[in-house]
Amino acid sequence: AEEERRFVELHPRSATLAEQARGPLLAGVPMPWMTRWPGAFPVFVESASGARLVDVDGVEYVDLCLGDTGAMTGHALPQVAEVIAERARTGITTMLPSADAVWVGEELARRFGLPTWQLAMSATDANRFVLRFARYLTGRPRVAVFDWCYHGTVDETLAVLDGDRVVPRPGALGPQVDVAVTTAVVPFNDLDALERRLAEGDVACLLMEPALTNIGIVLPEEGYLAGVREVTRRHGVLLIVDETHTMCAGPGGCTAAWGLDPDLVVVGKAIAGGVPAAAYGMSAEVAGRLSGPMLGHEIDVAGVGGTLTANALALAAVRATLSTCLREEDFAVAVPLAERFTEGVAGVIAEHGLPWHVQRLGCRAEYWFCPPPRDGAAAAAAVDEELEAFLHLWCLNRGVLLTPFHNMALFSPHHTTADVDRHTQVYAEAVAALLGQ
C-alpha cells in the first residue's frame, strides 16, 4: 500500500491521462498488455532514448523493460532514426520490394544458417504463417508446443496441459479454436513425453522456444535440444524455433549460439529497432517445396502475407538494426551487464539465504522466488504474482523499470555498470524491506 501511494504521488500527469483514456480506450489502454503494469495505472511515456525512458511527469527510468524486447538494442538510436526518417520521406508502402529486402534476406541467412526468408509484421504473424506452411507440407492437422509456452496470440498455441488433456491457457480469451483438436502439448525438458506424443503421427510441427522465456527463463537440460531434433526428424515433424525472445543469446539467437538445426526459424521484436517487423527463415528443403506453389499462386492467397508487410520502412529499419546495433560487438557489451546483474541479485539472495534464484540467457535475466524449475508447469506453479508486483513497483518508484511480465531485465549496449549497480542496490533494499530489516 505504501508503494502504491508513492506511485500515485509521483505520477499526477499520468493519472490524469489514465483517467481521460478510460473514455475512448478499452480498459483505458490502446493495447491490453498495458493493463499488466503493477500500479494503479500505466505511466504514460514522454520519450525514450538509449537505455533511458522519461514519463510525462518528468520521471526518468533506467529502462530494463526495453519494450518487452521490442527495443532490445536501445531506444531511438540515431543511426536507425536517420534511416526511418529517410524512408518516411521517400515512401513506405508500395506492395513492391525494396533493395533492402535482399540485404536483409542475405544477412538473416548468414546469421541463422537457413537460406530462405520471408517478412512478417510481427512474430505472432510469422508464427501463424509457419504453422500454416507446416500443416500444408505435412498434411497433418496438429501443431505441438511446450506446456506454458507463449508464441504470441496464435490461437492453437494458447494451450496448456491439464493432466493428459490439452486445454485453453488460463486467461486466454476464448474459446477460439478447440485446442484439444488443433494442438499437442508436451512438457519442456521431457524427451520421452515428446517421443510418445509424436509417435501418434498426427503432428505437423513442433513450435518451440529453445529456452522458455515467457514463464520466466527455463533453460534446456544438457542434450535435450539435440534429442528434440532427432525425435522430430525421425517422426517427420518440422522443427520450428521461435527466436523472438531468445535473440538475447546472440546475433543468431540460440540457433547459432547452440548450433541448432531447425527446419524453420522465427524472429521478431528486436530486429527492427522498435519498428514493427518480423521474419521467418526456412531450410532449402522447405523452401524448395514452397516456392513452386507460391510462384503458381497457390499459396499467396491462402492466408500468408499482409498488405503492410515488408514495407520499405520495416525493411530499412531491419537493415539498420542488424547492420549497426544487433551485432556480435553489441552483445559483447550487453551480455556482461546482464552477468553483473545476475551476480548482484544472486549475491542479495545468498546474503539472506533465500530459496530464490536468478536466471540469465545472454543479455536477458529474470528473478525467481524458487529453485530452478525444470518445465513450464513447474515454472507456472512457482509464480508469485504478489511478490513480483511488489518488487516491480518498488523498483519503478526508484527509477528502475522492469518488464511487467515476471520482472524480466534486458540489457542493451547503452546501459552502464552504474545502471546495473543501481538496480542491485534497489533490489537489496526491497528484499530487506520485505524481510522487515
Q: What residues make contact with ligand PLP under the rule CB under 6 A?
A: 122-124, 127, 150-152, 209, 214, 242, 244-245, 268-269
Minimum CB–partner distance for residue 59 and ligand PLP (Å) = 26
Alpha-carbon gap, residue 143 to 205, rounded angstroms:
5
Could you tell me which residues are beta bridge partners of residue 207? 145, 240
Instruction: Specify the residue, 245 or 392, whose C-beta has the smaller distance to ligand PLP.
Output: 245
Name the residue nearer to ligand PLP (CB basis): 269 or 423.
Answer: 269
Can you point out the beta strands (E) in 71-223?
Answer: 116-120, 142-146, 159-162, 165-168, 183-186, 203-208
Residue (209 or 375) nearer to ligand PLP, CB:
209
CB nearer to ligand PLP: pick between 15 and 48:
48
The Cα–Cα gap between 244 and 278 comes to: 9
In the complex, least distance from residue 275 CB atom to ligand PLP, rounded to whole angstroms: 12
Minimum Å gap between C-beta 163 and ligand PLP is 25
For ligand PLP, the closer CB: 80 or 267: 267
What is the nearest approach in angstroms of ligand PLP to the Cβ of residue 209? 5
Pick 214 or 311: Cβ nearer ligand PLP: 214
Q: Residue 434 Cβ, how far from ligand PLP at the closest point, in Å?
A: 28
99: cell is 533493395
| DSSP-H helix ranges across 60-99 | 78-90
In order, the DSSP letters of 212-227 are B-BTB-BPPPTTHHHH
Is the Cβ of residue 127 or residue 342 nearer to ligand PLP in the bound state? 127
**CB 123 to ligand PLP: min, Å:** 3
Cell of 395: 523498483
* 434 grid coordinates: 520485505
Closer CB to ligand PLP, residue 127 or residue 232?
127
- Toward ligand PLP, which CB reaches closer, 80 or 272? 272
Grid cell listed for 35: 493493463
Query: Which residue reads 531485465 in cell numbers?
Result: 409
Q: How far apart are CA 331 and CA 411, in angstroms?
A: 9
Q: How far is the CB of 68 from ligand PLP (least distance, A)?
A: 6
Going by C-alpha positions, the residue among 402, 213, 152 that lies closest to residue 430 is: 402
Coil/strand/helix, residue 22: coil
With contact defined as beta carbons under 8 Å apart, do 309 and 125 qualify? yes
CB of 293 to ligand PLP, least distance (A): 26
Length of the chain equals 437
Minimum CB separation from ligand PLP for residue 213, in Å?
6
What pairs with residue 146 in β-bridges? 186
Kindly give the pairing relationship between strand 45-49 and strand 52-55: antiparallel
Neighbours of 263 (CB within 10 A): 24
